[in-house]
Amino acid sequence: MDQPLDRAAALTLMQEYVQSESLRRHMLCVEAAMRAYARKFGEDETAWGIVGLLHDFDYERWPNPPDHPLQGAVILRDLGYPEHIIYAIKSHAVYLPDCPRVNRVDKTLYACDELCGFLIACAAVRPEKLDGMEAKSVRKKLKNKNFAAAVNRDDIDRGAADLGVDLDEHIQFCIAALQQMPESN
């Protein structure tokens, strides 16, 4: 039976499994972007936020595909998380052919995941962090393959396209979402 969604419980679960401060920050940023998109689309902000918050919670223990995110899916199922939350989290892994991104929440997670990682990297090298950051400067950094080299640029492009949003608008939307986070600047 599905348990009621509780952000505090999800945060505790994330903190139990994730020790890396940078990974925690990434997950909180993806949560913020997911919540913002949920508001924009008139969806369940708590559910979408939890998808973002927990999407990588198993990564430190099981970093190799397909263990990540399948090991996490087992844990979430055992804890009573709803199947639609588990499915959305599984769908962000491009290497799971039985989990195509079909729902808006799935597509939004995929669109926000790599981009949020890239935005964090961009903010880290700017004196003003996220303040005044614009899509144009982010796009310029995207062209530099040596900057934040681990970020998959194709996933960023595909994510926006799959979500049906203009890439520049998507970047600016996510910047705005991250700017609303406590301690974002």
The domain limits of the chain are 7-179
- 111: pLDDT strictly greater than 90: yes
Give the dihedral sign, CA 35/9/20/113: negative
- State yes or no: pLDDT of 179 exceeds 60: yes
pLDDT class for 3, splitting at 50, 70, 90?
low
The mean per-residue pLDDT over the stretch 76-83 comes to 96
Tell me the one-letter amino acid at 10: A
Residue 38 sits at the vertex; the CA angle it makes with 103 and 135, to the nearest 5 degrees, is 100
CATH code for the part of the protein at 7-179 = 1.10.3210
How many of the other CB atoms lie within 10 Å of CB of 39?
A: 12
Q: What is the pLDDT of residues 152-171, one digit of tens each?
A: 999 999 999 999 999 999 99
| pTM summary value | 0.95
* Mean pLDDT score, 74-101: 95
Residues 4-17, mean pLDDT to the nearest whole number: 94
Inform me whether the pLDDT recorded for 185 exceeds 50: no
Distance of CA 58 to the CA centre of its chain: 14
Query: Averaged over 112-123, what is the pLDDT?
Result: 97
Q: Tell me what the mean pLDDT of segment 82-86 comes to.
A: 96
Dihedrals φ, ψ of 182, to 5°? -60, 140
Residues 54 and 14: beta-carbon distance below 8 Å: yes
Nearest Cα to Cα of residue 155 among 112, 103, 122: 112
What does the pLDDT read at residue 182? 83
Using DSSP's 3-state secondary structure scheme, residue 149 falls into: coil
Determine whether 10 is exposed, middle or buried from the number of CB atoms within 10 Å of its CB (0-12, 13-18, 19+): buried
pLDDT of residue 139: 97
**pLDDT higher than 50, residue 1:** no
pLDDT of residue 127 exceeding 90, the answer is: yes
Question: What number is the average pLDDT over the span 127-137?
Answer: 96
Q: Which residue has the tokens 């303040």?
A: 131
Give the chain's length.
185
Residue 80 to residue 63: CA distance in whole angstroms: 23
What is the mean predicted confidence (pLDDT) over 21-36?
A: 97
Residue 40: pLDDT over 50: yes
Can you tell me the mean pLDDT for 180-184? 78
